[in-house]
Structure 1
Amino acid sequence: MERSAETRVVVELVDRPIESDPILDALSDLDAGAHSLFLGKTRRRTADKETDYLVYDAYRPMALTELRRLADAAADRWQLKRVVVIHRLGRVDLGEASIAIAASGGHRREVFEAIPWLLDEIKSDVPIWKQEHWSDGLTEWVHP
């Protein structure tokens, strides 16, 4: 993950496992006293169904545009120093991260408020689709 010293927001769609160390490095800012990282991982059970794995697909150009719009909005609204949003595409096995949202700011309250807001907005507004692959062999596309 590359960014210049002036870059406040990083958004990526990746086809590989999400690594947390580069994300935490990207949050670095000497004026930020609060750093937080959320990882959304594939869980084994959803309600009464057992998941084998997930597959994510996206309309990449629009998804990146929307991710950047939302990350910029969060950075402005909560005066964040840095925001990183990475969403994985393709197959995501149990225990692997499908999304990482991280932020740094002057104080914890702003960071703690921004991350769940970003996650909710991403789930409702960004053209990324999830296909559940269940242990019984059935599949289901999900998009809120």
Structure 2
Amino acid sequence: MSAIRLLGIRDTPLSVPEVLDAVGDHAAGGTTLFVGTVRDHDHGEPVAALSYSAHPSAEAELRRVAEKVAADFPLTALAAVHRVGDLRLGDIAVIVAVAAPHRGEAFEASRRLIDDLKREVPIWKHQRFADGSAEWVGACG
């Protein structure tokens, strides 16, 4: 059975309980959860609005990243979901969770999962700042 329990790119609000439920496993001695939220600033500038866009291949790339992490670590479960569309301050943009027999493996795999997702999955963040300027940040930012 694959350790991958839940993957998705969604235009609806993300649910921490859904992701935690997906990785629940009696064989796991450690479960890690990372929740990325929209903050009110970046580069020391106030953020006024933010949106995420995804390439049509993003879900396939997310699966590829997840499969690599699952192959490289002795995991019992893995989940990753990312939001697209317009988000408000405080909204959840991404959630990753990993369950493993031991906490060290869970922490290491979780860090690798979020870092690889941000680096390799074609999701782009468009930030608009309070002063009217804007920027695109590649691969989740």
TM-score of the superposed pair, with normalisation by structure 2:
0.92
**Cα RMSD, aligned residues only:** 1.3
| Equivalent runs, 1:90-129 vs 2, <5 Å | 90-129=85-124
Residues 75-133 of structure 1, C-alpha deviations (whole Å, 9 max, x = no match): 12111111101000001111111110101110100110011111221121111111001
- The one-letter amino acid of 2:23's match is L
State the alpha-carbon separation in 2 of the partners of residues 79 and 113 from structure 1: 11
User: 2:132 matched to which residue of 1?
Assistant: 137
Runs of 4+ with >4 A deviation: none
Task: Return the offset for 1:30.
Answer: 1.4
What SS does the aligned partner of 1:100 have? Answer: strand
What SS does the aligned partner of 2:59 have? Answer: helix
State the alpha-carbon separation in 2 of the partners of residues 93 and 13 from structure 1: 17
- The one-letter amino acid of 2:84's match is L
User: 1:3 matched to which residue of 2?
Assistant: none
Whether 2:7 is the aligned partner of 1:31: answer: no
Which of 55, 67, 75 is 1:72 aligned to? 67
- The one-letter amino acid of 2:27's match is D
- Whether contact under 8 Å (1:42, 1:53) holds in the other structure is no
Whether 2:62 is the aligned partner of 1:44: answer: no
- The one-letter amino acid of 1:56's match is Y
Which of 7, 14, 19 is 1:11 aligned to? 7
TM-score of the superposed pair, with normalisation by structure 1:
0.90
Residues 42-99 of structure 1, C-alpha deviations (whole Å, 9 max, x = no match): 1111122111221000113x11111111111111211111110100000111111111
Percent identity over the alignment? 35
How many residues align structurally? 138
User: Where does the alignment leave 5 or more consecutive residues of structure 1 unmatched?
Assistant: 1-5
User: 1:84 matched to which residue of 2?
Assistant: 79
What SS does the aligned partner of 1:129 have? Answer: strand
State the alpha-carbon separation in 2 of the partners of residues 7 and 75 from structure 1: 8
- The one-letter amino acid of 2:21's match is D
User: Where does the alignment leave 5 or more consecutive residues of structure 2 unmatched?
Assistant: none
